[in-house]
Structure 1
């Protein structure tokens, strides 16, 4: 009887090696999946998509500097500082903050005490969260902030998002989440100027854990990027979107039926099912039937990137083309209110003139552009700056963190909130759409909104902002529509 051949031990050894290799591959795969994001230690306070609240209250919050004399529209708008303090009053367990700036606790000798007061009060309020047993978490791209160091010394957890390594951009996101139930989104950040010198607009949403849970997932996305220099290719389901433009959250806002969702940018920061900011804005423009009112600090449909030591600039068309289509093909009335300040790019006027020219010799075509300008102090380029970043139509509102500049959407991190009302605008003015529309029309009628005179003779002057002067109209009957002389 023949004994075992020498090939059998070899085959057995090969099988063992193969099994071991498969186990190693499986182990590596599991490690990759679960190390791409740290999903442990965060149970979302027991809130799930099934048990979260959809009966919500939304409030418009604004900061209007006391030296801006705006027409009274009769609708009470909650001051931004009051909105922030009211929001923090609700905190019982957690406060999560993302802000592009941390400059609340200003003790600069050149800063007027009255202007800095609100920022200092808010900073002290954040410090006091520790004594109330409330956990404070902050995601920031700032590496050397004195205020963040002080907050960290008072038990705040601070995670650093290295935007330079990730996108070569910046963190422009500005939002707050309290107890995964209440949220703020808007143009203001953790800067004393947002509470005193700059004109800001945002919304606070109360008792809306469904929406807050989705925004918390955006925060968790930033949180997991702590000190990373790359964006993982595999993410946990904990950071994927719950709602989007094709599957919006159905909810009650101030007893009115509505839908809402959160959008983000840039595209690299959009996990599965998360809607990009530019797609959210495009959807709101496309859904408008009668009017589109836009208020932004800067409007510039260009993307600039550094390539081999040189700056390459190209036309960025999505939003510019969407506006043109709405005006010309659908007959939607468009008003665009842009801030005029020391950092306004000269080409802004070229694009504004191009948009205005669409309606030349066209019936039922209405596109107006005005520049919001307050006489600035020489030592502060943000004195009276209209820092708003929103759009309102006859059926929806978009509140965001970005100006409508191509480069912002391409490389900078931001968030947006889209709210669409089921019953559109109400005559009683109770919806958030009517409140935002009222705020826009107030600014549009104000003495600070200047029309653009864009003849060909002025084109050469656009290249030098030092030659751009604001025409101060002295006649009382023309004080709301004095032109911007170029």
Structure 2
């Protein structure tokens, strides 16, 4: 006589399924853990967070067009093209470049035989990296670039960042990393005009592998966006920031004690511990004691957003309000040098007038603004355009990739470098602040910088004119 059917086979099958599910979950967990661990085995030069160098030198690099008549005796600087070539000459293992533009070979060589040559020479130097065994990696948002295709044919690795899908913005970042030891950050991109016709400013930080490693993490973030149309929710720890506003890198710059960090934007592009560009600027303005000098191509505290097919314009106060607070409440002297060119938004003049009006009846308040430009604006060559994007104060400097336009910080990708001098320094003559301050003052005093009509600048009798109409020329 047989008993009831046993349930053992069914229980055993359920147990196997449960064990298999647990094993799968464990495997996924292990994969996530290992993906979040720093692995430095791919570093060609064996630089790690533990052995990287903090003894650095900083060099100001500028491009001043030959036909731009600026005063002699300006700051100590290196021509931009010379600086780029020097970085490539030092490269032994790797060169990593991010640029919003790749247009080093001028389209009209007959018109620009001399000035266009600078771009061609730089492009040829990039092509020659292959013969020296130097790896070239480029992150770009350009789809159909003939120059990037040529570089890829010479073994350069090019990754595409789909900014339209990610943020509905653009890639404005412009920086270099060489051998994870030397970096460049500034206004210049890979455009022949940046080496000849436009006025550019940036810095090279040399033998500073700690800072270079941190900027490399920004590059790695871009690099991992290849073929993605979304920002992953889980990232490797290899892209998280090493330093930030609350935990900057302590270092020696030109034998002087300082701190530094790299910032980024938009907020969606800021992994763990990465300081946003706007927060870095905010922090520098709040820390200023005596003066704030700002030089940007465009200043417009507005954000233009598309909502359900309709463009909505709103005030973006993040920077504008902290400037007002510095001038009115703390009595810090503020000067803004903004470019006047065919793309200057008419509302810029309204905001600048509003800033200056704050000090009309206040004794300990000074907000001055000038527009840097000229009458001629031919085609899209951007003759003598002041393309600078920086702020310098009595104790810090920020050099970035964005114009101070709300929409840029909200949706466009960019980076910034913050260098802050340690308090208590007796001799500031050897810091990077002095040449950048001198560059600002040289431009401020030049004949290309003009007050708005009706604004009273220092030693001025309202002799300068405001652009009467937004047509690309001064209304004299």
- Normalising by structure 2, we get a TM-score of 0.93
SS at match of 1:261: strand
Could you list the per-position Cα deviations for residues 371-401 of structure 1 after superposition, in whole angstroms to 9, with x for gaps in the alignment? 0012324323511100000000000000000
Aligned position for 1:482: none
Paired residues, number: 466
Q: For residues 300-311 of structure 1, what are the structure 2 equivalents within 5 Å?
A: 300-311=300-311
Could you list the per-position Cα deviations for residues 156-185 of structure 1 after superposition, in whole angstroms to 9, with x for gaps in the alignment? 111111111111111100001100000100
- Normalising by structure 1, we get a TM-score of 0.91
Q: For residues 381-396 of structure 1, what are the structure 2 equivalents within 5 Å?
A: 382-396=382-396
Aligned position for 1:138: 138
Deviation at 1:17, TM superposition (A): 1.9
Aligned position for 2:462: none
In structure 2, what is the Cα distance between the partners aligned to 1:232 and 1:39?
20
8 Å CA contact 1:129, 1:135 repeated in 2: yes
8 Å CA contact 2:327, 2:334 repeated in 1: yes
In structure 2, what is the Cα distance between the partners aligned to 1:350 and 1:162?
35
Aligned position for 1:363: 363
8 Å CA contact 2:375, 2:473 repeated in 1: no
In structure 1, what is the Cα distance between the partners aligned to 2:35 and 2:3?
50
Q: For residues 237-248 of structure 1, what are the structure 2 equivalents within 5 Å?
A: 237-248=237-248
Q: For residues 311-322 of structure 1, what are the structure 2 equivalents within 5 Å?
A: 311-322=311-322
Q: CA 1:15/1:361 → structure 2, altered by over 3 Å: closer, same or farther?
A: same
SS at match of 1:318: coil
Q: CA 1:94/1:345 → structure 2, altered by over 3 Å: closer, same or farther?
A: same
* Higher mean displacement: 154-163 or 107-116: 107-116
1:91 is the counterpart of 2:91: yes
In structure 2, what is the Cα distance between the partners aligned to 1:78 and 1:320?
32
In structure 1, what is the Cα distance between the partners aligned to 2:416 and 2:39?
25
Aligned position for 1:6: 6
Deviation at 1:360, TM superposition (A): 1.1
Q: CA 1:68/1:264 → structure 2, altered by over 3 Å: closer, same or farther?
A: same
1:421 is the counterpart of 2:421: yes
In structure 2, what is the Cα distance between the partners aligned to 1:44 and 1:229?
30
Deviation at 1:5, TM superposition (A): 6.6
Aligned position for 1:407: 407
SS at match of 2:105: coil
In structure 2, what is the Cα distance between the partners aligned to 1:423 and 1:232?
40
SS at match of 2:369: strand
- Aligned-residue Cα RMSD (Å) equals 2.4
Aligned position for 2:121: 121
Deviation at 1:305, TM superposition (A): 1.4
SS at match of 1:416: strand
Deviation at 1:363, TM superposition (A): 1.2
8 Å CA contact 1:183, 1:212 repeated in 2: yes
1:274 is the counterpart of 2:245: no
In structure 2, what is the Cα distance between the partners aligned to 1:39 and 1:3?
61
Aligned position for 1:225: 225
In structure 1, what is the Cα distance between the partners aligned to 2:329 and 2:472?
36
Could you list the per-position Cα deviations for residues 283-340 of structure 1 after superposition, in whole angstroms to 9, with x for gaps in the alignment? 1011111100000000000111112221111111110011011111111110000000
Q: CA 1:30/1:376 → structure 2, altered by over 3 Å: closer, same or farther?
A: farther
8 Å CA contact 2:138, 2:158 repeated in 1: yes
In structure 2, what is the Cα distance between the partners aligned to 1:41 and 1:159?
21
Deviation at 1:8, TM superposition (A): 3.5
SS at match of 1:86: helix
1:215 is the counterpart of 2:215: yes
1:23 is the counterpart of 2:56: no
In structure 2, what is the Cα distance between the partners aligned to 1:197 and 1:293?
24
Q: For residues 169-184 of structure 1, what are the structure 2 equivalents within 5 Å?
A: 169-184=169-184
Task: Point out where structure 2 has 5 or more consecutive residues left out of the alignment.
Answer: 456-465
8 Å CA contact 2:162, 2:228 repeated in 1: yes
In structure 2, what is the Cα distance between the partners aligned to 1:294 and 1:2?
94
In structure 1, what is the Cα distance between the partners aligned to 2:69 and 2:430?
25
Deviation at 1:41, TM superposition (A): 6.9
In structure 2, what is the Cα distance between the partners aligned to 1:110 and 1:47?
46
8 Å CA contact 2:98, 2:140 repeated in 1: yes
1:437 is the counterpart of 2:437: yes
Judging by fraction of residues, say which structure has more helix. Answer: 1
In structure 2, what is the Cα distance between the partners aligned to 1:31 and 1:50?
25
In structure 2, what is the Cα distance between the partners aligned to 1:365 and 1:289?
13
Deviation at 1:468, TM superposition (A): 6.3
Deviation at 1:50, TM superposition (A): 1.1
Q: For residues 149-228 of structure 1, what are the structure 2 equivalents within 5 Å?
A: 149-228=149-228
SS at match of 1:306: strand
Task: Point out where structure 1 has 5 or more consecutive residues left out of the alignment.
Answer: 456-460, 472-486
SS at match of 1:260: strand
Aligned position for 1:458: none
Aligned position for 1:469: 474
Could you list the per-position Cα deviations for residues 102-131 of structure 1 after superposition, in whole angstroms to 9, with x for gaps in the alignment? 000224246411110110110011011111
Aligned position for 1:479: none
Aligned position for 2:71: 71
Deviation at 1:85, TM superposition (A): 0.7
Deviation at 1:256, TM superposition (A): 0.3
